[in-house]
Amino acid sequence: MVRIILIRHGETTWNIEGRYQGQEDTPLSTRGLEQGRLLAQGLKDVPLDICISSPLQRSYQTCKFCADLHKLPVATDARLTEINHGDWEGVLAPDIAKAYPVEFEQWHTAPHLVQMPGKGGECLEDVRRRVRAAFDEYAQKYEGKTVLVAAHDAVNKAIICDLLGLGMEHFWQIKQDNTCINVLEYNKGTCTWRLVLLNSVNHMGFLFSGIEQAGL
């Protein structure tokens, strides 16, 4: 069996502002840094063998808090990078809604149909395909290991949907709070994944956050 502990990065200033981040390399906020420390404390007694992060600093920093406590290096995997929002990156959600009213509405009602506008813009299928390739590799490479994977909101939602056999139309039915913990297990004998834990934020002192972020 391979156990993957999938986490989302801590809060950034753009999360607070409701500004779409995508692949912009934004740092953690002061609260995001504290969330990372709390996450590391929450996982300090959980045996970890490998730590892998998106190369974006908000995920890497979050992962490193945990890795340092376990005296492990952090590897990076570009396939875990957040969705490329194209021309929406760096823009506040209300401004996107004004400039792209049809696409923005569709993003929240039928996200699987949206192609992000502009150079490099991705759709959820693009994200699903590259992240699934990474997880398939981890499942074959790390038998008997527990792997910490640090990624992003859209990345986590897309892979959780996919591993559960859900289409990307179910994207918004999964919530991912900052520094949330998800646990997924792969059974090599049956070639199946199961979800053990979803969006846990107990390490921050509450059962669920109640926070709704306007930007990703």
Max Cα separation, the chain? 51
Please say if 152 is a catalytic residue.
yes
In single-letter form, the type of residue at position 56 comes to L
Indicate which residue of 70, 85, 152, 203 is catalytic: 152
Indicate which residue of 9, 70, 108, 112 is catalytic: 9
Active-site amino acid positions: 9, 152
